[in-house]
Structure 1
């Protein structure tokens, strides 16, 4: 019985052709461009110019380091100005200083700066100082809003044109609770920056 000869490789794109020193090396074809041929005695070396398989879709993204002091400081200043306005609005609407609001002001400032700026040790200290300023400014805005209702002028004109009157009014009405709220806001800012940087 005559033995049939194997079909040429052109008829079967998946046929393997023996190569030097490695009879199992698969030849690259149009159907399999990732097939490897031995080069310089290395049966696992990929041929130059061969297509590289795409990366795995489930590979985790590379985490970017957060250590930008300048950006963290800018975010802290902007957040301090915004939260001072919000805190002043709360005081002006309720005519009371609310301790939780002062803590919230400090925590938001610290958390924002630490989240953006990273674990730089300067940020918690700066956040605490900015929180003192934000709570104080918020109290002045609240006094301006309350005084504007009583005098019959706008709070903006009272704040801009009679800022010295507002500071005198703050000094006269300041109590131990006022300074406690300042301290609570600073502490919340310091701890908020530390917690955000640790994430």
Structure 2
């Protein structure tokens, strides 16, 4: 009996697509382009997958309300410390509320509108906090007594000091909140 010997073969070729180094490359398949062969058409860069669309109304509303309360407090402290209404701070209030709503809530079309309304309320509340702080410095009452027990006096003082510029900054703050919520939600 004669035994047959295996056919002579050359050194193994490394195939990047084979499971183990040293395995032979598969023969080319007709109709499939080979690696390194020029491809017909235009070369295209790989695209990143689309970011998931955020559309969470409840979280966006909660973030906007939280930002409105914080921004109103900070704005009121600024007014109370400087004894002046600072319009750019009102714009910052609107921006903060809009960014919070858009980043957390996403593309929901209700969020920009709610952000604009909340910015109006936050600017008003901040101005009332500022009035109460100024009143507490000038009278024998504390801030808490003025703000919680004599709120009507604070509102009357605000009405007496409100001018057209006050309402202009209300409008600008609402506009900034609306646009920043739309842009942040994209």
TM-score range relative to shorter protein? 0.7 to 0.9
Runs of 4+ in 1 over 3 A off after TM superposition: 59-62
2:104 to 101, 116, 132: 116
Structure 2: runs of 5 or more not aligned: 13-18, 22-46
1:92-126 Cα offsets, whole Å, 9 max, x none, are: 01111111100010011011101111121111111
CA-atom RMSD, angstroms? Answer: 3.2
1:129-158 Cα offsets, whole Å, 9 max, x none, are: 000000000000000000001113321232
**What is aligned with 1:144?**
132
Instruction: Number of aligned residue pairs: give it.
Output: 162
2:119 to 131, 148, 157: 131
In 2, distance between residues paired with 1:154 and 1:184? 32
Does 1:68 find its partner at 2:68? no
TM-score in terms of structure 1 length: 0.69
Tell me: higher relative CO, structure 1 or 2? Use CA pairs within 8 A at least 6 residues apart.
2
Structure 1: runs of 5 or more not aligned: 8-14, 16-27, 33-58
1:102 to 90, 113, 119: 90
**What is aligned with 2:160?**
172
Max Rg structure: 1
